[in-house]
């Protein structure tokens, strides 16, 4: 019976750390586009400063904050493992993921106070039905790709990384953190969708002849 081959090549771990950092950077960029798209929608109404602007800032802020905090937790969970490896090997730094998430800044609030509700319904509907789902799909694909990134790290047989630490990252850390980030994104997208839909409904009701 052949025993498990354990191998810890710092170069392989560094490559993995770099791929995760690149992936989460793309997630952050996608979040920025979601925010910019939502803030490009113009809304005029008597409730702009009391309802639309605070509501928009809240749903977008929750998306950004929730996703950023989850990415930071993801990095910390992996770094806990790789830091232990570095200490065991006597390696000073270089195995941790050096990722500073780019937090999207919220643009100026787009809602303007006016006597009547005025919005571009087609613009809102395009964001709700086309733009937002497209961003969600890209985010889901990027987040799911983290599962592949750990799977393709070369094993000890190829001068790579094998053993209980890698098994823990691949079997526990990555699945848990991917699920956590996925949940934040999906719930936030639903909240953004609902908020934009309600804005369209308010304008439609205001325009009703009934």
Strand partners, 111: 43
Rounded Cα distance, 127 and 109, in Å:
17
Average pLDDT of every residue of the chain: 88
Q: What is the pTM of this model?
A: 0.88
Domain boundaries, the chain: 7-205
Question: What value does the mean pLDDT take over residues 68-91?
Answer: 85
Q: Please give the pLDDT value at position 1.
A: 38
202 with 116: CB under 8 angstroms?
no
Rounded Cα distance, 102 and 80, in Å:
22
180 pLDDT band, cuts 50/70/90, is very high
Over the stretch 156-170, which tens digit does the pLDDT of each residue have? 888 888 888 899 999
């Amino acid at each position: 019976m052949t025993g498990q081959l354990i191998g810890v090549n710092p170069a392989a771990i560094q490559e993995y750390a770099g791929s995760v950092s690149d992936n989460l950077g793309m997630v952050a960029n996608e979040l920025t586009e979601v925010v910019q798209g939502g803030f490009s929608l113009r809304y005029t109404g008597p409730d702009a400063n009391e309802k639309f602007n605070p509501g928009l800032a809240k749903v977008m802020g929750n998306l950004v904050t929730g996703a950023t905090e989850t990415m930071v937790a993801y990095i910390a969970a992996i770094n806990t493992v790789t830091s232990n490896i570095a200490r065991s090997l006597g390696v000073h730094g270089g195995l941790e993921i050096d990722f500073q998430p780019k937090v999207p800044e919220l643009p100026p609030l787009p809602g303007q106070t006016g006597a009547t509700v005025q919005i571009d319904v087609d613009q809102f509907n395009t964001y709700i039905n086309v733009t937002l789902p497209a961003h969600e799909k890209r985010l889901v694909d990027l987040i799911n790709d983290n599962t592949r990134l750990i799977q393709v790290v070369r094993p000890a047989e190829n001068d790579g990384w094998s053993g209980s630490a890698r098994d823990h990252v691949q079997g526990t850390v990555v699945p848990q953190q991917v699920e956590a980030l996925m949940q934040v994104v999906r719930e936030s997208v639903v909240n953004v969708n609902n908020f934009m839909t309600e804005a369209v409904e308010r304008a439609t009701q205001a325009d009703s002849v009934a």
